[in-house]
Structure 1
Amino acid sequence: MVRKIAGRPVVITGAASGIGRSLAIRLSRHGCPVVIADVNAVELEKTAASLSGPALSRVLDVRDAADFGRFASEVREWLDLPLAAVFNNAGVATATSVLDSLPEDDTWLFDINYWGVVNGTRAFLPMLLKQNYGVVVNTSSVYGLVGMPNNSAYCSAKFAVRGFTDSLRQELRGTGVSAATVHPGGIKTNIIRNGRIHRDPEGRGRDLEQIAADFDAIALTTPERAAEVIHRGVEKGKARILVGPDAYVFDALARIAPTRYYSLVARLLERK
């Protein structure tokens, strides 16, 4: 279902940094009235200051379903045009083995990465269905395509986002509303630096900054490029949007070698 969103209102969570901020800036430049939300008030204000058109900014913890509902009501009052897209993009990271994982960290991540997506979808879906128009765009990951060591909580949440959005897409058949899943590969953001990583999960003695630097070294895509790919994918009506060349590699490996892909990934990483 082809969707033109340029020039029409959009909602973006996780807009204080990374892909969310870049999406907000890009869509604002394409004439979209932009509604942005994030739990980080200081960085959210910086995003708001960088926008070139109409904007509504709201501090929001996506784990709070009731506040998400109030936020949707505020957006409804603010809009002059039908809402074109809701980007449920907020996300965090942990990195640990299953053996060493802390339940409170897993809960924190799952509440944001999965329930934040569910809360955002439930808050705005009635509005989209009433206007019989729009698209829900939920951010999963390449780790929602394959399971990776030391990322059990992150993979679980991103697989859950994928399943939730696929189910939603089928429920929306016959309506003017659609759903899309975004699967970014390595994106040069601060998700590792802002994550809950208490020790080097690979046992190499690296501190958080070194782990983040190693991630940056293999991340192939900038947030700006990710925003461009997502924007174009949504407007082309794609149901699944792969972001970055590594996303296409992971997708192919999951299809070709569904039980052996990590052996192939490990070989690729050893060559870098």
Structure 2
Amino acid sequence: MSAVLISAEDLRERLASGGSPVRLLDVRWALGDPDGPQHYLDGHIPGAVFVDMETELAAPASPAKGRHPMPEVAHLQKCARSWGIRGGDAVVVYDATGGMAAARAWWLLKWAGVQDVSILDGGLPAWERAGGKVIAGEEPDPEAGDVVLTPGNMPVIDADAAAGWQGLLLDARAGERYRGEVEPIDPRAGHIPGAVSAPTAENLTADGYFKTADELRSRFEGFGTGPVAVYCGSGVTAAHQVAALAAAGIEASLYPGSWSQWSNDPKRPVATGSEPA
């Protein structure tokens, strides 16, 4: 079992050692920024494969399932093999936004049974600070992998489970969206009744690194007790929250449909304001 995070320095050493291969996945994506492929072409870690959030790490969006539904495992396996992943490979995922997008690939691969998956702490900026090389342009297509994926290796909940969650339900979106002050993309503003506001951005330092395990543990313990589940807007940044919780030694379930599914169902109640209820 791998650590959740790998530092840029440790990744450089691992790549330079000439040992077992490390598959590098570039997962640059952000809401409102469709230019991930161009960012990759402008500069990426040598050997990295670009991974597309919308077509490879999610099924097609729908009001019933949300903006980034989980892909079918057969589709994910086809994509993982196209990235060159073989059984037993180590995989490192990165982006340039503190792991906010890369964590989706981390979570999905862990869910699908890949054991050795880590997030590059600090992403591409940390790699460059550590003196890592960055190259522009296309990469040769990797040799096809043979990884066999099996679903169900990370805990998942659905809307009904979120509605009746007996424990700590964390809303990983920005505080103003939780409170219902703004809603830039989904049909209703507010949060799931009973959820606690825990913005994902607060898992990170000002430089885009994950806070220490002790700092994260203290943060999450301050929200309450009991089994933990997490949602966000569409199940992407919630994966970052699950990763931060895992780094702190806390297991958490993910609600993949998240607010984009919940808010599209008129039967689901909505709370507003700073309090959970």
Higher relative contact order (CA 8 A, sep 6+): 2
Give the structure-2-normalised TM-score.
0.33
More helix by share: 1
